[in-house]
Structure 1
Amino acid sequence: MSLHEVVPGVHAWVQPDGTWWLNNAGVVADGGQVLLVDTCATETRTRRFLAAVEQATGGGAVRLAVNTHQHGDHSYGNSLLPATTVIVGHEHMREGLRVDPVIDGCPPLWQPVPDWGAVTRRLPDVTVRDRLTIHVGQRRVDVAHPGGPAHTTGDLVAWLPRERVLFAGDLVFNGLTPLVFMGSVAGAAAALDWLAEFEPAHLVPGHGPLLTAAEITPVFDAIRRYLRLVRDTAEAGLRAGLTPLEAARGCDLGEFAGWADAERIVPNLHRAYADALGTDVDVVAALTDAVTWRGAPMATKV
């Protein structure tokens, strides 16, 4: 894991290999002030991130933090931020983290079972419904929601229009399997079109390597193809009367078979089924089916 300078004063914290619970985060600094984009899943990893931020920024005050969504790899480290840090999140993100039981003890769906360490539930202080502009010294940071469910119902991006740097959160997975079971398959595809309209020079995905302008379109196109596979598999499974797990077992992942966390096809199909049927996803059941499909607990390095 390391801190990469994207442009002067703007950094990305990248945790290889970006699989379960290993997210990317961001730092925007100017005039002795610091804004963070997300934290990390565990106490140990968040403290490493914060130490790197302090070194890179000369100990500037972490005045603000933005959570791109509710999932713990991006938000459990909130409680390790200074008490004076104001945390910003979408209103749905705040509610999702408020009721999230996993921070209290991770179920044995992953191996090894993650140990969060000394983190506690810390919710955003400020909630956003559509968009908000934040000023960090002389830098402008636009925080925006894609307009509907995508990765989750409460996604936010952080956009620096002058520097043309986009922190996309988990609306973008670069080189590994996307996850949309708490959002929308169609919404995740639409969010890619929305992101492309920013025309970023640099994009920080929620997981995986950083992207420059020339690399963005091929990555987006691959994600779109994967989401079409999820949609088509769900439609065929519903016609055949199959469960999401049965449909996943019959799905040829093709070009995506080599992507890490391939078992996400199962919870993604749970979402596609729910969207088609007008129901909701049982998160525990979806992840349990992913373990069944895999034949073992899901792998993590946390």
Structure 2
Amino acid sequence: MSTQSQGFAGRDPSAAPDAAQLCELRPGVYAWVQPDGSWWVNNAGAVSGDGETLVIDTCATARRTHRFLTALGDVTGGAPIRWAVNTHQHGDHTYGNSLLPAATVLIGHERMREGLRTDPIIDGCPAFWSPIPDWGRVRRRLPDVTITAAATVHVGERRVDLLHPGGPAHTTGDLVAWLPDDRILFAGDLLFAGLTPLVFMGSVTGALTALDWLAGMAPEVIVPGHGPVLAGGEIDRVLDEHRRYFQFVLSEADRGLARGATPLEIARDARLGEFADWADAERLVLNLHRVHADHAGHELDLVAALCDAVTWLGHPMPTSV
């Protein structure tokens, strides 16, 4: 089966910044949902009350972040953004940080801060993606405050818990924003709703463990890092899909390791089955590289992993950023 028939469907290449919407989940709690949710096109959010606002993630480009912050200002009456938090280091959630007001206190996990500090892609995106993203007028802006496990921010009367899953998952420095009184969870990239999950800078087994951690909060609404907002039975469905996908990755990796195959060779032999229609299917290669690196006890070779993903796909990874 070719990579083309293995599920490069499901993407909307015409998705544009003006397709994004600010959704009010509860009074003063907002999700910024950007279709099509594929490479570099993330979700963000905000909590506002008593004349102040907490922003949860920014966007990859200056244009997209400007639209988010403008829409947010319209519904909050221009309430000052007192705090912002990054759920992890990746540029789709962080490159727009520099568009936040100078007075905003930016919060992140200590490993997230280091990851963004050393990230070269903000200085110029390599040709692994097409079209090559143009971030616009952004600069590297790092968290002012770092945490290792948990912190709480009070936005008016509303409590927002910033929590680390306890180990590597999507990355080594993930945070979620949990509103316990509203039962709303901003999960960052611990969840991708309807798209292929990505854990090559974290851990496949850790990501599996994190799913149970998320479920244990018993959220009523989840804002995933990519894809539509989830509620009710959709939450269990997406959690179960992630479990099956990560178990699939581990199973394919185990079989490949037993015969000495490379991540690219394993991916070429794999059959995606129920995951074939998810966008960004090439992430299988990246996730397999993560398992191989962990098995061998060495650092993941990021460039080699991305090269193999492009080779498997047969062309650069498409993005509508």
Does residue 273 of the first structure (1) align with residue 289 of the second (2)?
no
Counterpart pick for 2:89 among 63, 66, 70: 70
Paired position in structure 2 for 1:94: 113
Shift of 1:213: 2.7
TM-score (norm 1): 0.99
Task: Measure how far apart 1:257 and its partner are.
Answer: 0.7
Pairing partner for 2:36 from 2, 6, 17: 17
- 1:54 is aligned to 73
Q: Partner of 1:262: helix, strand, or coil? A: coil
SS in 2 for 1:17: coil
Aligned partner of 1:174 among 173, 193, 196? 193
Secondary structure in structure 1 of the residue aligned to 2:122: helix
- Asked if the contact 1:14/1:25 (under 8 Å) is kept, the reply is yes
Structure 1: 5+ residue stretches without partners = none
Name the structure 1 match of 2:282: 263
In the alignment, structure 1 residue 234 sits paired with structure 2 residue 253: yes
1:117 aligns to 2:136 (yes or no): yes
Tell me which of 22, 25, 44 is aligned to 1:6.
25
Displacement after TM superposition at 1:279 (Å): 1.5
Query: RCO greater where, 1 or 2, for CA within 8 Å and sep 6 or more?
Result: 2
Q: Deviations over 1:48-80 (max 9, x none)?
A: 000001001110000000100000000000000
Asked if 1:213 corresponds to 2:227, the answer is no
Partner SS state of residue 134, structure 1: strand
Cα distance, 1:291 vs structure 2: 0.3
Tell me what 2:122 maps to.
103
1:292 lines up with 2:314 in the alignment: no
Whether the 8 Å contact between 1:203 and 1:213 is mirrored in structure 2 is: no
Equivalent residues of 1:175, 1:208 under 8 A apart? yes
Q: Provide the C-alpha distance between the structure 2 equivalents of 1:223 and 1:37, rounded to a whole number of angstroms.
A: 23
Residue 167 of structure 2 is aligned to residue 148 of structure 1:
yes
Q: Aligned partner of 2:220: which letter?
A: A
Amino acid at match of 2:300: V
Decide whether the 8 Å contact of 1:140 with 1:160 is kept in 2. Answer: yes
- Give the secondary-structure state (helix, strand or coil) at the position aligned to 1:147: coil
What letter corresponds to residue 279 of structure 1 in structure 2? H
State the Cα distance separating 1:283 from its structure 2 match.
1.0
Q: Are 1:138 and 2:157 an aligned pair?
A: yes
Aligned CA RMSD, in angstroms, stands at 0.5
Q: Is the 8 A contact 1:202 1:213 kept in 2?
A: yes
Matches of 1:68 and 1:59 in 2, distance apart? Answer: 24
- TM-score relative to the length of structure 2: 0.93
Shift of the alpha carbon at 1:232?
0.7
